[in-house]
Amino acid sequence: MLSLEEISDRFEIQQLLIDYSTAIDQRQFDDLDRVFTPDAYIDYRAMGGIDGRFPEVKAWLAETLPKIFNAHAHMLGNFDVHVDGDIASSRTFCFNPMVFGGDENQIMLCGLWYIDEFIRTAEGWRMTKRVEEKCFDKLL
């Protein structure tokens, strides 16, 4: 049986995953500072992006996403969260339709897994590592 602390930890981590998606979809990239540790490693290469430390990737997101896409929305599911004291890991599915800029409004449907690692900090849970694992992508 899960303890109340573990239930709370899982919900806090799940909310952190939602906070990430909300920040990206609303283009509020500074809100990612409350999601990641300053030295977090992020790897978006499976879906055509870059990898690196959080500050570099955050700058890339802020510069690249608005130039390429008119809109995008993350839908998360299948949260598989494992807590071990002050560290945790998760594997979460993401369905992410993305609308390219331009007159055609071409849509790319992305399906991917987020493989994440977390640490408990004085400010709450923070992500220390995010790696995308491609499931599918399809242009419409």
Domain boundaries, the chain: 4-139
- CATH 1.10.1740.110 matches 4-139: no
CA 4 to the chain's CA centroid: 26
pTM confidence score:
0.94
* Tens digit of each residue's pLDDT (9 = 90 or more) over 22-49: 999 999 999 999 999 999 999 999 999 9
Give the single-character DSSP code of 29.
G
Return phi, psi of residue 110, to 5°. -115, 135
Q: Residue 115 burial (CB < 10 Å; 0-12/13-18/19+)?
A: middle
The percent of residues in the chain predicted with pLDDT above 90, rounded, is 91
How would you classify residue 48: left for phi > 0, otherwise alpha for psi between -120 and 50, otherwise beta? left
C-beta separation of 94 from 73 below 8 A: no
Which pLDDT score is estimated for 102? Answer: 77
- The ranges of the chain with pLDDT < 50 are none
What pLDDT is attached to residue 103?
Answer: 74
